[in-house]
Structure 1
Amino acid sequence: MELEVRHLRALCAIADTGSLHKAARRLGVSQPSLTTQLRRIENALGGELFTRGRTGCHPTPLGRTVLGRARPLVDGMTALVAETRAAAARAEGPALRVGSTASRALAGWLRRLRQGLPGSDIALRVDVSATALLRATAAGRLDLAFVHEVEGCPLRVPDGLRGRVLVEREPQFVSMARDHPAAVREVVDLADLAHDRWTVDPAVDGEWDGLRRVLTAAGLDPPVLHADYHTAASLIALGEAVAPCQPTSGPREDMAIRPLRGDPLAVRLFLFAAPGVPLDRPYAELAAAYREAALRAAPYRSWLRAGGTAGPCMMAV
């Protein structure tokens, strides 16, 4: 077996995420496929590259040696592809490449950008991983990255990116089945959810760590289901679990969204730009789009008008 760049990229993804599951999500392959690929790479090199345990995947001494040689090759190939694509895009006309974690403000932001940049081709990449988006921006594959940082789990921002805080502290609400006993309350205590299962997406940077910290502080140790967004929505609607959610989340007939008392869960929202990419205009358009999304969401609108403070773009609600 001859090693290719895709094999080196897989090794770097495993090391960066510390998990075969998260690395597979990042690479867009199944976990069994990645596990088989890793086993073949290790067989070709003649030694174990990662130890696998309950705490995740960690490079062995041999793995660290291989990664030390692999990373410059992967970074160089990534830069080559990014520069080639950027040159091709410039030849075809103006383009703006936008990356974002999921947000209700995204559609309004893109609409505003298109109106402000008539004739421009705006490309969009949505990813659950803020880290992946920031790295893509640093590598020249994206121009802008709208990302969130879970409180207590700081992001590692690559050198060279310029960023501004959009929302200093966005509270995370909780979503539950419409007939959940706590749904009759305007504000929910964590104690009201003491007997519920929680669901989180482990591929979202910091989400499980942040939730675990808050639940532990409240003296709770509930069962946790790891699921992607669509699976989680089904579990919640059927009363099988509850989950943290963005306060801008839209209404659904089969779900209730409520603030948590004391706002124990929160994220910070950022907009980052690649070197040489203007930031002021996209930031202003994003702030306006976020404010619109916040005011459309009745629970968030009520929270803000009751004295909640999210950030600069939410002043004078």
Structure 2
Amino acid sequence: MELEVRHLRALCAIADTGSLHRAARLLGVAQPSLSTQLRRIEQELGGELFTRERTGCRPTPLGRVVLGRARPLVAEMRSLVAEARAAAADDPQLRIGSTASRALAGWLRRLRERRQEPVLQMDVSANALLNLVAEGRLDVAFVHEVEGCPLRIPSGLRLRVLVEREPQFVSLPNDHPAAARSVVRLSDLAEDRWMIDPTVDGEWDAVHRMLRSAGLNPRVLHGDYHTTASLVATGEVITVCQPTRQSGPESVVRRLYGDPLGVRLLLAARTEAELDGVYPDLAEAYRETAQQSPAYREWLEHSGVDNPVPALP
């Protein structure tokens, strides 16, 4: 077996995510396939590259040596592919990646008014989208970085902060006892079941840390956004949510007392020019969305924030 760039990319993904499961998802392969590939790489190199622990995978001394050589090679190959694709591309469409956001509709509408129809790729994993930008498969990505869980920024990417700290709210069934208040304490939710999407980078860790800091140990279910919204509406669970989410006939959005959880909103591209071309439309769309959400608008007024998106110098 001869080592190839894809093998080095797999090793970097395992080290970056700290988990075979998360690395497999990032690479778009099945976990058993990645496990088999890792065993073959270790056999080829003559030793274990990672120790398998209850909390995940950790590089061995040999693994650290190999990763030290692998990372610059993988980064250089990404740059080569990105430059080649850019030079060969004859499709001027703007390729956008994004995690979930209500600002997307307004952003895409504004872009359509000024250029061709953008191509949109959604993913719950901000890290996966950033890798696609670094590889030249996306032009820009709008992503959320959960507080306390830094994203793994590929080398060569340019970042622009849209919102330094967006507070996360809570979504409750409309007949929940706490729904009658505009601000909810975590202690008011001690007996509830929570639902979290574990595939969102950093979200489970951050929510678990928030609950633990409040002295809570509630029952937690795992599910995607759509399942979560359905179960909130039927009174089965509660969940954290973006402040731009609006209340509906079956669920309400409320601020959490003390704003214990936040995210940073980032725009990523390979060049400053690409950021300049899309940032103003995104900023305008986000401001519009923030004002359309009563709970978020009330939070902004209470916090004395006139504009959630600071003007660029």
TM-score, normalising length: structure 2: 0.85
SS at 2:184 equivalent? coil
Letter in 1 for 2:31: Q
Q: What is the letter of the counterpart of residue 47 of structure 1? A: G
Q: Which amino acid aligns with 1:106?
A: L
In 2 relative to 1, CA 52–234 (structure 1 residues): closer, same or farther, beyond 3 Å?
farther
* Counterpart selection for 1:170 from 166, 172, 182: 166
Q: Which residue of 1 aligns with 2:255?
A: 259
Match for residue 98 of structure 1? 96
The aligned counterpart of 1:211 is 207
Aligned letter for 1:206?
G
Identify the residue that residue 77 of structure 2 maps to in structure 1. Answer: 77
1:128 aligned onto 2:88: no
- Give the superposition deviation at 1:15: 0.9
How many positions carry a matched residue from both structures? 311
| Matched position secondary structure for 2:271 | coil
The answer to whether the aligner puts 1:313 opposite 2:309 as a matched pair is yes
Structure 1 runs not aligned, ≥5 long: none
**Contact in 2 for aligned 1:94/1:121 (Cα 8 Å):** no
Q: CA deviation at 1:219?
A: 1.8
Matches within 5 A, 1:286-297: 286-297=282-293
Partners of 1:288 and 1:309 lie apart in 2 by 16
Match of 1:277, SS? helix
* Correspondence for 1:181 among 177, 182, 190: 177
Matched, 1:144 2:140: yes
User: What RMSD over aligned residues (CA atoms) do the two structures have, in Å?
Assistant: 2.9
1 CA distance for matches of 2:234 and 2:124? Answer: 24
Are the structure 2 counterparts of residues 241 and 3 from structure 1 closer, same or farther at C-alpha, using a change threshold of 3 Å? Answer: farther
Tell me, in whole angstroms, the C-alpha distance in 2 between the residues paired with 1:23 and 1:252: 37
Q: Is contact 1:187-1:258 (8 Å) kept?
A: yes
Preserved CA contact (<8 Å) 1:170 1:310: no
Distance 2:68 2:104 in 1: 37
Using the size of structure 1 for normalisation, the TM-score is 0.84
Shift of 1:44: 4.7
Please report how far the alpha carbon of residue 281 of structure 1 lies from its aligned counterpart in structure 2 after TM superposition.
4.4
Deviation at 1:121, TM superposition (A): 5.3
Which amino acid is 1:297 matched to?
S
The answer to whether the Cα contact below 8 Å between 2:158 and 2:272 also exists between their aligned partners in 1 is: no
Displacement of 1:256 after TM fit? 2.5
Residue 112 (structure 2) aligns with: 114
Shift of 1:176: 2.7
Structure 1 counterpart of 2:196, one-letter code:
V
- Could you tell which deviates more after superposition, 226-235 or 51-60? 226-235
CA shift, 1:110, in A, is 1.5
Q: Which amino acid aligns with 1:22?
A: R
> Using the alignment, how far apart are the partners of 1:270 and 1:86 within structure 2?
23
**In structure 2, how many angstroms separate the alpha carbons of the residues matched to 1:40 and 1:234?**
43
Give 1:200 deviation, angstroms. 2.5
SS in 2 for 1:95: coil
Q: 1:272 corresponds to which residue? A: 268
